[in-house]
Amino acid sequence: MNVHEFQAKQLFAKFGVPVPRGKEITSPEEATAWANELNTSVFVVKAQIHAGGRGKAGGVKITKDKGAVAGLAKELIGKTLITHQTGPKGRKVHRLLLEEGANIAKELYLSILVDRDTGWPTFIASTEGGMEIEEVAEKTPEKIIKEAIDPAVGFQGHNGRNVAFALGLQAMEAAVINPFVQMLGNLYRLFMEKHAALVEINPLIITKEKTLVALDGKVSFDDNGIFKHEDVQKMRDLNEEDPLEIEATANNLNYVKLDGNIGCMVNGAGLAMATMDVIKLAGSEPANFLDVGGGATKETVAAGFRILLKDPNVKGIFINIFGGIVRCERIAHGVIEAAKEVKITVPLVVRLQGTNADEGRKLLAASGLTLEVADDLWEAAQKIVKLTGKAA
């Protein structure tokens, strides 16, 4: 789960990581009130959406004029920002962060995540602050500094010093070395205690006043750890999520919306991905990823149908179930029952394999429903692609 920059910065402040004074704003009136209270020489108004590239898309405004803040807020609230991470439809701005500006002397990059190779939490730092870190890693890998933290003992001072000296902080501004080391310790604590998946500060700045400030902040949380943290659960912003994905989560379904025309419903994540791949091989594109899980029932199948059919791009549906513990004849019953409740207006191909597959296929064939039954994965994929008007 991702959170907004202002929420990330609230967490930073709680864990002793320095951030600019700032506040979430949802109206020009609030902006004026907070601008008066802030009483600073430079005001920064930042659109809050769950996507990077806001600056380039015109989502960040800077002014020295306190009186102009309300106007900037008015301009940004309700605006749709299109960045390289939002897709062509863009994302509507509902809230802003209004904060004080800073005197930047130097920009750095800092993040922490679990290195999947070692299984250890690892800091990544670079002197190339403000840049896309993937690009830095690609073009100048020598500028990426990595420091793994032994989870048995947690963060140690030397971990922080290793990063500080490798970054060249001594030559840059020796006064920030100790605060920097302390800050890394605090970030490690935040990362582990809150079950974060990624904590990123880009840029982390050294100010002309020789202090460190997290000028931007990104935190994403491990979906599996959120149950432990009520404060994190409250940070969820449904405006930032696809409505169909929200409905799927409410039904315990794992759904990701994609751009193609063939809706698919599958049991198991790996098989769901493989099914998407087969649709592409057969000459079309998947409209979604949908894993109905190991315990697919009539209810989950019906919920799956409803979600798939709400996507106007869906021109056909492909159900691919490999019955293991789940028996295929029960899935067939589920499809038949669900089809009575949900009017299926597009071609449907059902492929059943595994436990009681024959029985399931017979039930479907005798149901009177307009659908095609298949027992082989490739055959099924070709069928649905053909039915939706594209040949392999």
Partner 1 sequence: MSILVNKNTRVVVQGITGKEGSFHATQCKAYGTKVVAGVTPGKAGQEVEGIPVFNTVADAVKKTDCDTSLIFVPPPFCADAILEAADAGVKLIICITEGIPVNDMVKVKRALHGRDVRLIGPNCPGVITVDEAKIGIMPGFIHKRGVVGVVSRSGTLTYEAVHQLSTLGLGETTCVGIGGDPVNGTGFVDVLPLFEKDPETQAVVMIGEIGGDAEEKAAEYIQKHVKKPVISFIAGITAPPGRRMGHAGAIISGGKGTATEKMKALEAAGVRVVKNPAEIGHAVKAALGR
Beta carbon of residue 271, minimum distance to partner 1 (angstroms, whole number): 4
Per the CB < 8 A criterion, the answer to whether 51 and 90 are in contact is no
How far from chain centre, in Å, is Cα 20? Answer: 25
119 binds partner 1 (CB under 8 A): yes
As beta bridge partners, residue 341 has none
Q: Helix (H, G, I), strand (E, B), or coil: what is residue 175?
A: helix
| Binding range to partner 1, per CB under 8 A, among 32-40, 181-189, 217-225, 301-309 | 217-225
Per the CB < 8 A criterion, the answer to whether 214 and 12 are in contact is yes
291 binds partner 1 (CB under 8 A): yes
| Peptide bond preceding 88 in cis form (omega within 30 of 0) | no
Let me know if 255 is a catalytic residue: no
* Concatenated DSSP letters of 364-378: HHTT--S-EEESSHH
Nearer to partner 1 among residue 207 and residue 261 (C-beta): 261
Among 289, 309, 362, 367, binds partner 1 (CB under 8 A): 289
Beta carbon of residue 34, minimum distance to partner 1 (angstroms, whole number): 32
Among 258, 309, 344, 346, binds partner 1 (CB under 8 A): 258
148 binds partner 1 (CB under 8 A): no
Among 240, 247, 285, 299, binds partner 1 (CB under 8 A): 285
Q: Which residues of 137-166 are buried (b: 16+ CB within 10 A; e: fewer)?
A: eeeeeebbbebebeeeeebeeebbbbbbee
Using CB under 8 A as the binding rule, the residues of this chain from 52 to 91 that contact partner 1 are 85
Using CB under 8 A as the binding rule, the residues of this chain from 370 to 389 that contact partner 1 are 376-378, 381
| Binding range to partner 1, per CB under 8 A, among 56-64, 133-141, 299-307, 364-372 | 133-141
Per the CB < 8 A criterion, the answer to whether 52 and 85 are in contact is yes
The site string for partner 1 over 151-170 (x = CB under 8 A, - otherwise) reads xx------------------
Q: Which of 137, 116, 98, 113 is nearest to 200 (CA)?
A: 113
Q: Which of 25, 109, 13, 103 is nearest to 69 (CA)?
A: 25
Nearer to partner 1 among residue 168 and residue 243 (C-beta): 243
Nearer to partner 1 among residue 114 and residue 365 (C-beta): 114
Among 22, 59, 121, 360, binds partner 1 (CB under 8 A): 121
CA 16, CA 1: separation in Å to the nearest integer? 23
Per the CB < 8 A criterion, the answer to whether 252 and 293 are in contact is yes
355 binds partner 1 (CB under 8 A): yes
CA 65, CA 267: separation in Å to the nearest integer? 57
CA-based diameter of the chain, in Å?
A: 79
Let me know if 109 is a catalytic residue: yes
Among 20, 160, 263, 286, binds partner 1 (CB under 8 A): 286
Q: Which amino acid is at 71?
A: G
User: Footprint of partner 1 on this chain (CB under 8 A)?
Assistant: 85, 114, 116-117, 119-121, 133-134, 137-138, 150-152, 191-192, 195, 197, 222-225, 227-228, 254, 256, 258, 266-274, 276-281, 285-286, 289, 291, 294, 322-325, 353-355, 376-378, 381
